[in-house]
Amino acid sequence: MNRPLQTVSLRLAVLGHPIAHSRSPRMHAANFAALGLAASYEAFDVTEADLPARLADLQARGYTGANLTIPLKARGLELVDEATPRARLLGGVNTILFRADGRRVGDNTDGFGFLAALHEAGFDGPAGIRVLVLGCGGTGRALALTAAQAGAAAVLLANRTAARAADVAAALRAACPGVPAEALPADPAVWELAARTCPLIVHTTSQGLQPGDAPLLTRRAFAAGQWVFDAVYTAQRTPILREAAQAGARTLNGLGMLVHQGAESFRLWTGLEPDLAAMHAAVRG
């Protein structure tokens, strides 16, 4: 049973481009209902060029804060007055708090959500193991850095543009000098061989999002006992997860990460503990 509504001043939003696919509004609405909060969470389609004006508008209208998603996270880091250490480490902001004194505080809860989702699924995490990260865009960079900071034995990086993988490897070596970081050649055959040596494989590319897309790696890359995580949450079983499952690997899509990064954002905005069960149910529906 939902609790009686509490009178609060809590207006929140998620900004991105595109944004129509986002499940965050219904996820947060379910959490508000479960907690009895009279709060709102809206989605706005916002480009990088429009982000400064939109943040100023939300702040002037009394919003408590906002989430930023693709492609706004790096630009968001430039538009806050204060950034947490993890936001600076990950190179982007996905959560902004508008403080009463007019200052903006930026944080990044993506890495937290990633590790929490792995733990919830029964996987202890990347400490002491080799991790392969497929895709070195904003999400790939963030999750590679998170794995390194969590104590991975080594992080291997694969990207269609080898220079981007090299850039992320350099960032990892600078941030976590004790963790070997290797940029692989832009060759799926090399990635397949590397995958076989890694107990955890993290997929963050757009390959598989469109109907008919072939998986980035086939079942030959996977083995029983491996964990394969795909940051995509709009499909229960993406092409790469289907291939991995057929090889006996354990698979996980991005829904758990979505819930836990959103839950951590809610804690930052309110100081309250979210209803994780309600949030999980909302994103699965």
Kind plus residue range of the DSSP H or E element containing 38: strand 37-45
| Closest C-alpha to 143, from 160, 159, 131 | 131
* 111-253 matches 6-108+258-284 in CATH topology: yes
Would you kindly state where each structural domain of the chain is located, as residue ranges? 6-108+258-284, 111-253
φ, ψ of residue 110 to 5 degrees: the values are -60, -45
Do the Cβ atoms of 36 and 284 come closer than 8 Å? Answer: no
pLDDT digits (tens, 9 = 90+) for 200-212: 999 999 887 777 7
Superfamily of domain 6-108+258-284: Leucine Dehydrogenase, chain A, domain 1 (3.40.50.10860)
- Which residues fall within 8 angstroms of residue 201, CB to CB, at 6 or more apart? 131, 132, 134, 195, 217, 221, 222, 226, 227, 228, 229, 244, 249
Per-residue pLDDT tens over the stretch 108-135? 999 999 999 999 999 999 999 999 999 9
pLDDT in tens, the chain (285 residues): 444 445 457 999 999 999 998 999 999 999 999 999 999 999 999 999 999 999 999 999 999 999 999 899 999 999 999 999 999 999 999 999 999 999 999 999 999 999 999 999 999 999 999 999 999 988 999 999 999 999 999 999 999 999 999 999 999 999 999 999 999 999 999 999 999 999 999 999 988 777 778 999 999 999 999 999 999 888 888 999 999 999 999 999 999 999 999 999 999 999 999 999 999 999 996
- Catalytic residue selected from 28, 73, 104, 260: 73
Q: Measured between alpha carbons, how far is 231 from 218 in angstroms, rounded to an integer?
A: 18
Residue 73 a catalytic site member:
yes
111-253 is a CATH 3.40.50.150 domain: no
Q: Which residues on neighbouring strands pair with residue 159, listed in sequence order?
A: none
How confident is the model over 2-38, as pLDDT tens digits? 444 454 579 999 999 999 989 999 999 999 999 999 9
